[in-house]
Amino acid sequence: MAGKRDKPEEIVLKLRQVEVLQGQGSSVADAVRQIGVTQQTYYRWRKEYGGMSRDQLKRLKQLETENQRLRRAVSDLTLDKMVLAEAARG
């Protein structure tokens, strides 16, 4: 059963909500339950997005997009090189 996917901005806000709730004395389990995710999801999000600001999140998205574009360019060039090497052999 697949649930909805939260956007990174929403994830950062939910992580901050958990921090506030913990600061008010709630346990991790109660705080996570209040934001509507499982503890496993919370810890995964905290590992990936913990401590990020919105500016850092935007920069991360930009870098991921650029990395994807560069990977495509490298794979295209590698394919071209392989085709040329095969044609040169005969």
pLDDT value for 56: 87
- Give domain limits for the chain: 1-52, 53-89
Closest CA to 17 of 28, 3, 31: 31
Instruction: Answer yes or no: are the C-beta atoms of 50 and 36 closer than 8 Å.
Output: no
Domain 1-52, second-level architecture? Orthogonal Bundle (1.10)
pLDDT value for 2: 60
Checking if the pLDDT of 14 tops 80, the result is yes
Checking if the pLDDT of 3 tops 70, the result is no
Tens digits of residue pLDDT in 36-72:
999 999 999 999 888 888 788 889 889 999 999 999 9
pLDDT value for 75: 96
CA–CA distance, 72 with 79 (Å, rounded to integer): 11
CA–CA distance, 81 with 51 (Å, rounded to integer): 43
